[in-house]
Amino acid sequence: MNFFDRVSRAIQVKLNDLTIEADDPEKLLEQLLIDMQENLVILRQEVARATAERMRSKREYNSNLQEANKWNQRAQLASSKGDETLAQEALARQKSYQDSADLIEQQLQYATAIVEKLRQGLSFVEEKVSEAKSKKNLFIARSRFLKSFEKMAENISILDRVFAQQFLEQLEEILSIEDQLETALPELKNNSEAEK
């Protein structure tokens, strides 16, 4: 169906937008759901329009069939009264209405098949929209977790740099104290030997 192709293309375009513009996946997902909802509304309208057209065709079919039956009865009545001219005229009208009814019946079968396909398509799209809605919250939660995790990793990286800097400062302090001890140790030894 042409309509399903349009819906499919619109969804594909939106999915491409999602992969290209993944800056804010929550916003893009929300927009995709809005677009899917809009397409669902359009599809429902198409189903309603096709159903109404089918019902109109059904009424027209029934009306033509009733007229054909009515003119057939008139032809039989005229024939039973011996008025062949009137019977022929009534049969011509009966045939005209019957031909119209037959043509409309074919259109009605086609319209019924279209309505059925549209309803199946509608059911499929409704299912996909429902599935997308339920997965949306899961996706958003996962996206937020990943953002939070990235922020934590960034903070840990900053802390690692701070701790590394503090460690280097403490190491320098220890080395400075060791240097002072090394220079002071011979003096202490000399002082201790001098006191003996």
- Assigned domain for 184 exists: no
Joined tokens for residue 153: 């990793």
Global pTM? 0.58
- Name residues whose C-beta falls within 8 Å of residue 119's C-beta, 6 or more positions apart in sequence: 47
Please, what is the average pLDDT of the chain? Answer: 83
Domain range for 12: 2-147
Residue 95 near residue 65 (C-beta atoms within 8 A): no
**Residues 34, 32: Cα–Cα separation, whole Å:** 5
- Assigned domain for 75 exists: yes
**Alpha carbon separation from 7 to 27, 28, 50, 110, 121 (Å, rounded):** 21, 18, 17, 22, 10
Torsion angle (degrees, nearest 10) of CA 100, 103, 105, 109: -160
Q: Is the pLDDT of residue 97 over 80?
A: yes
- Assigned domain for 128 exists: yes
- Assigned domain for 156 exists: no
Range of lowest pLDDT (47-51, 115-119, 141-145): 141-145
- Assigned domain for 187 exists: no
- Assigned domain for 167 exists: no
- Assigned domain for 70 exists: yes
Signed CA dihedral, 31, 37, 40, 45: sign only: negative
Average pLDDT, integer, range 131-159: 78
Residue 132 near residue 33 (C-beta atoms within 8 A): yes
Better-predicted residue by pLDDT, 51 or 4: 51
Query: Looking at residue 66, which CATH number applies to its domain?
Result: 1.10.287
Whole-number pLDDT of residue 56: 95
Q: Which of 34-43, 150-159, 176-185 has the highest mean pLDDT?
A: 34-43
Whole-number pLDDT of residue 22: 54
* Overall number of domains in the chain: 1
Whole-number pLDDT of residue 194: 64
Q: Is the pLDDT of residue 2 over 80?
A: no
Average pLDDT, integer, range 41-65: 94
- Assigned domain for 174 exists: no
